[in-house]
Chain A
Amino acid sequence: DAKTTQPPSMDCAEGRAANLPCNHSTISGNEYVYWYRQIHSQGPQYIIHGLKNNETNEMASLIITEDRKSSTLILPHATLRDTAVYYCIVRVQDDYKLSFGAGTTVTVRA
């Protein structure tokens, strides 16, 4: 079920901000936007989530549009270790089943 749409890939220069877009035009009122990433040969890693307000933590910032139909994950200063597949998903908070689409493969170049 393709509830989110992400570009398949993007490149980013080391030290620059990486802005990862995600469309979720059918999001429901009680669904949150979650971002995970998966570095090669590792398990998925939680990054950030939000409902409607913008959120920031030590890893990233999440900007959600006012109509909640799209969002952007911002990695403020990308490093080579941020090279990974980034997944945007929408889910209600107590839904324990994660379902990832294809995600965006982000390659950070020196």
Chain B
Amino acid sequence: GAGVSQSPSNKVTEKGKDVELRCDPISGHTALYWYRQRLGQGLEFLIYFQGNSAPDKSGLPSDRFSAERTGESVSTLTIQRTQQEDSAVYLCASSFRQPNYGYTFGSGTRLTVV
């Protein structure tokens, strides 16, 4: 596609429920990244995919968080047993191989845990 697409754009969920966030990167971009941005704060790196593998998962906050990528395209970020502190905007970005010229970000999914 023309840009990085994320869905849903907004998600309100009850504490304890599981959520899945989806990212469609730009076609041909082999690298994909997930970030989290809490209100008024900077970016927090979560995970990096190169193709279908994730060489760096160091930013995932806990084992409630997981991500996968299939077919070098779509990625899904799953948060199990959501907590209120998970409330944030979850941003996905992609780049052609490594981000020498900067990422292209999606508009994010705003997750609110009530």
Q: Chain A: how many interface residues by the 8 Å CB criterion?
A: 18
List A residues 57-110 near B (Cβ within 8 Å).
93-94, 96-102
Bound Cα distance from A38 to B32, whole angstroms: 19
A-B CB pair tally, cutoff 8 Å: 50
CB-based contact A46/B43 at 8 Å: no
Which single member of B45, B59, B100, B108 contacts A94 (CB below 8 Å)?
A: B100
> Are B108 and A43 closer than 8 Å at their CB atoms?
yes
Q: Are B102 and A96 neighbours in the complex by a CB distance under 8 Å?
A: no
CB–CB A97/B45 < 8 A:
yes
State which size class the interface on B falls in: 20 to 34
Question: A11-56: which residues lie under 8 A (CB-CB) from chain B?
Answer: 34, 36, 41-46, 49
17 contacts between A and B (CB under 8 A): A42-B107, A43-B91, A43-B106, A43-B108, A44-B103, A44-B105, A46-B101, A46-B102, A46-B103, A46-B104, A94-B98, A94-B100, A96-B56, A97-B45, A98-B35, A98-B103, A100-B43
A: residues with CB less than 8 A from B are 34, 36, 41-46, 49, 93-94, 96-102
Q: What would 4 more interface pairs be, CB under 8 Å, given A93-B98, A96-B99? A: A42-B107, A43-B105, A97-B48, A97-B59
